[in-house]
Amino acid sequence: MFSNHIPGCRTPRRTGCVVAYSTFNATPPEDAIFGRPSGALVDAFGMTGRTDLQVLCTNPASLAGGYAPSRPSSQPCHTPARSGSASRSCSMAAPPAAPTPWVEPQDHYTAACVKSNGADVLMLSPVGGARQLTPCPDTTWGLHLSDVNIALGTSWTSSARKPGPT
């Protein structure tokens, strides 16, 4: 959103690029905080009134674009509830009791960068019986508090395009 000089990554081996996305699993509301070059974030960077801005979306599960499987991963000792940024209900799930620092939940999703209600977002869809994640702290945030974890279990070596959600 703030640079014309650093491109979005489109292949796994590319360097000097950025991966950026704002995750939603439903149409972003008009007052969404992420996905549009407006509101509090633009104001915070002193860019109010600019009409030449666009929010970057690079799908971490498929840098080349299209729908691709996105597998979440989490670190039980670093959930939003423990970092103080949100209540326990905002975490992807209750922290699992596991002997390892990282776990990979059984839930799977597909993800793709889309334009939805004027916002450029990474749209997440559950696969099979996966849980529908709850936007938190409210719908204006989408799934922002899960942005990083939502793709941590994804293989970074694949950038194949997929036909759409399953």
Per-residue model confidence as pLDDT tens digits over 32-81: 989 988 766 677 878 777 777 888 999 988 888 888 888 776 644 344 44
- The total number of structural domains in the chain stands at 1
* Residue at 19 is within a domain: yes
> Which tens digits make up the pLDDT trace of 138-147?
999 999 988 8
* Residue at 163 is within a domain: no
> In what helix (H) or strand (E) does residue 4 lie, and over which residues does it extend?
none
* Residue at 48 is within a domain: yes
* Residue at 144 is within a domain: yes
Separation CA 74–CA 46 (nearest Å): 34
Separation CA 154–CA 78 (nearest Å): 19
* Residue at 49 is within a domain: yes
What Rg, from alpha-carbon coordinates, does the chain have?
16
The pLDDT assigned to 21 comes to: 93
Q: Burial code of 70-88, b = ≥16 C-beta within 10 A, e = fewer? A: bbbbbebeebbeeeeebee
Decide if 74 contacts 82 (C-beta within 8 A). no
> In what helix (H) or strand (E) does residue 123 lie, and over which residues does it extend?
strand 119-126
Read off the pTM. 0.75
* Residue at 165 is within a domain: no
Domain range for 30: 1-154
* Residue at 164 is within a domain: no
Pairing, β 23-24 against β 119-126: parallel
